Structure formats: C-alpha cells, structure tokens
Amino acid sequence: MNPEKIYPRTNDHETVYLKSVVKNPNIIVGDFTMYNDFVKDPRQFEKNNVLYHYPINHDRLVIGKFCSIACGAKFLFTSANHTQASLSTYPFPIFFEEWGLDVQNITSAWDNKGDIIIGNDVWIGYEAVILSGVTIGDGAIIGTRAVVTKDVPPYTIVGGVPAKSIRKRFSDDTISDLLNIKWWDWPEERIRHHISDIQAGRIGRLQTSCKGESHDDL
C-alpha cells in the first residue's frame, strides 16, 4: 500500500484510506482500512469521529487492516465517561480553577475504561458508536446505529442499543480456520491472487496457500 495514497477510487473524495489521513500517534490504523463520509470531509475523521480522546489519558484507538467504516461512525473515549464512583457525576476536577482543586487530579473526573481495539476485516455500519474499553474481533459486523458497550467476538454480527449478538457469520470451524489463515497479513500480491477465492468462500484454497503450495499448483 502506498502510504501517501488518500483516495482509493478516482474522482471519489468521499472515501479515504484512514492510515493516510490520521496524524494522532494514539490512533493506529492498518493498511487498506477505509472510511466513507458523504456528509463531512472524510479526511477530518480524527476530529469528527474520534471523540473525547484527550492526550492526558494515553488511551489508543487501534484499527486493523481491511476494515470498512461507514459514514458517521463514532468512537467515544474515556473522558465521555463521567465518574460513577463519586456522589455526583459533575466533573469538578475539570474545573479545578473554579473550585481550587489540584490540577494533577483532573483525570478523576471520569472512569478510565481503556483503549478501543478493532480487529481486521471489520465492517462498522452507518452512525454506529463504539465506547471506550471495547474490543471488536476480526471479521465482525457492527450494525447501523448500534451502540457497542461490550466486546464483540470474531465474525459475529451485532446490532441494537446496546448492541447484542445477532448471529455468527460462519460455523465455528470456519471461523477458527479464518483466524488461523489471517489472509489480511499476507503480502499484497498474494492477496491479489486469491481475491476470487476470498469472495467465493473457497477457504480450502486459502489453506493450501498457507501450506506453502505455489500459485502454479492452485
């Protein structure tokens, strides 16, 4: 993948490769992951879609390779979680000057739930919301306007508010095989050679490739 390539398609400025437009070192995006936005400039993903992501928390958004992120998807981080350990949810520590508090305690205004981790080949639907501390497994699908509050297993479809499991995409054996194959980590030319197999579900051919068979033998 050309790290400087922003737009995957000629004359389509609504779709970008996220890796090429994200600058925040705490947002890590894999190759070929794309974001589409027909409302706002998709190059502003970091500003418009990754919310409450303050450097003081040191939390990260990690997105794998070959993910598809639809318009308006949001990633809500720790600072959106007003603390529930206090008798009040009012964020007094943020207004330390007003109340004469120690600036060092500012992060006590919220509950730190950690990083958001998105696996590879994940499809996140229109205006879905992913909350801090959530891990989404490889191959999962997040439904339109779902609010994901808990981890999502690999190759599982979830939807609703809060998001709940709808079904697995494949059998347990197929899921296990795909997680072992990890086609998204293959060299680009090898993926290119097997695109038709991936699309047609010919998992046996992918397994054969993993065993070191030459392309001429397939």
* Euclidean distance between CA atoms 92 and 115, whole angstroms: 24
Burial of 17 (0-12, 13-18, 19+ CB in 10 A): buried
Cis preceding-peptide flag for 162 (omega within 30 of 0): yes
Show the beta-strand stretches assigned E in 26-155.
27-29, 34-36, 50-51, 61-63, 68-69, 74-76, 116-118, 123-124, 129-131, 135-136, 141-142, 147-148
Beta bridge partners of 117: 62, 135
Residues with catalytic annotation?
82
Distances in Å between the Cα of 73 and the Cα atoms of 11, 128, 146 are 23, 5, 10
